[in-house]
Amino acid sequence: MQHTIAKETEIKGIGLHSGCETTLRLKQAPENFGIVFKRTDIPSQPEIKALYSQVADTRNCTCIADAKGNVVATIEHLMAALSVMEIDNLLIEINNQEMPIMDGSAYPFLKLLQQTGVKEQKAPRRVLKIKKQVTFKDDKGNQIDLYPADDFAIDFTIEFPSKIVGRQNFSGKVTADIFAKEIAPCRTFCEKYQVDYLKSIGLIKGGSLENAVVLDGEQILNEGGFRVANECVNHKVIDTIGDMYTSGYPIIGRVVASKTGHYHNNMVLRALFADASNYEIR
Ligand SMILES: [Zn+2]
């Protein structure tokens, strides 16, 4: 059956790029409503569906927009937590254009949803079953594939020149238990030179060692180092789970990706839905 949350709840934090404090109000929503963001700081209070077709920018995060250009940025970490908690219907009121970054992981959102609880609804859940291999490859050869499978599984590989990251791989089924223990706590990561550049062009005003792992050559600048051994690739798994949930359904299929990001995730979903013989919704 479909699910919404058991009761209304709220969470606050600062936006990574704007540095502004943002409040999220999560409200129950009826069957077949989907995941919808509502910008309460704009007089018309526009609602934007968290769907791949609404994704307008994938450069530093997944950003959705309506036809008038009203946006909500950085939805992917909350989307990952919603996906794993099997929440189908939710209204998310947000009073800013950017989601709170929290600690850079999906854990604060997962914890909030676990504490709030999930309510079963009266309509059956529908799933998106991958029926054929679907590929998106960029001009650098980085590739993401969707394959038919019996469960939702991810195989993700990253490779960084820094030895502290190097080559990391996550491969397997994404169960609620594995997500909570090994994936949700994994933070966004970046290199110090990227931080310096983004700050210089007025971005990541809210960025700090409180909400990202920052690498400087062979060093981690965060006290305490990594939270889990493969924190970097596991964070990419969070992003992939969150982005795949913009399909509007839980996916039954295997995602195989190497050195890809939000752009590739969105493009492979667009390729999937471009041909009805690629999938089945049931
Ligand atoms: Zn992320």
Average pLDDT over residues 76-80: 98
**Maximum separation of any 2 CA atoms in the chain, in Å:** 53
Average pLDDT value over all residues in the chain: 95
Helix and strand tally (H, E) in the chain? 6, 20
- Continuous H helices in the chain: 76-84, 107-116, 176-178, 192-200, 231-244, 262-274
What separation in angstroms does the CA of 96 have from each of 13, 16, 25, 75?
11, 12, 12, 12
Question: What's the 35 CA to ligand 1 centre distance in angstroms?
Answer: 19
Question: What's the 188 CA to ligand 1 centre distance in angstroms?
Answer: 5
Instruction: Say whether 17 is catalytic.
Output: no
Question: What's the 206 CA to ligand 1 centre distance in angstroms?
Answer: 15
Neighbours of ion ligand 1 (CB under 5 A): 188, 239
Question: What's the 239 CA to ligand 1 centre distance in angstroms?
Answer: 5
> Are residues 144 and 198 in contact, defined by beta-carbon separation less than 8 angstroms?
no
Q: Tens digits of per-residue pLDDT, 171-184?
A: 999 999 999 999 99
Residue 159, classed as helix, strand or coil, is: strand
Q: Tens digits of per-residue pLDDT, 185-225?
A: 999 998 899 889 888 988 888 888 989 999 998 899 999 99
Count of alpha carbons within 13 angstroms of residue 52, beta-carbon side: 23
Confidence at residue 163, expressed as pLDDT on a 0 to 100 scale: 87
Average pLDDT over residues 237-263: 97
Full set of structural domains in the chain with CATH: 3-120 (3.30.230.20), 128-281 (3.30.1700.10)
Buried b (16+ CB within 10 A) or exposed e, 147-174: beeeebbbbbbbebeeeebeebebeeeb
> How far is residue 20 CA from its own chain's centroid?
20
Question: What's the 279 CA to ligand 1 centre distance in angstroms?
Answer: 27
CA angle 131, 135, 138 (to 5 degrees): 165
Q: What pLDDT band is residue 234 in, cutting at 50, 70 and 90?
A: very high
Q: What is the pTM of this model?
A: 0.96
Question: What's the 202 CA to ligand 1 centre distance in angstroms?
Answer: 20
Residue 118, classed as helix, strand or coil, is: strand
Question: What's the 100 CA to ligand 1 centre distance in angstroms?
Answer: 12
Residue with tokens 């090994």: 182
CA dihedral 30, 154, 162, 266 (to 10 degrees): -50
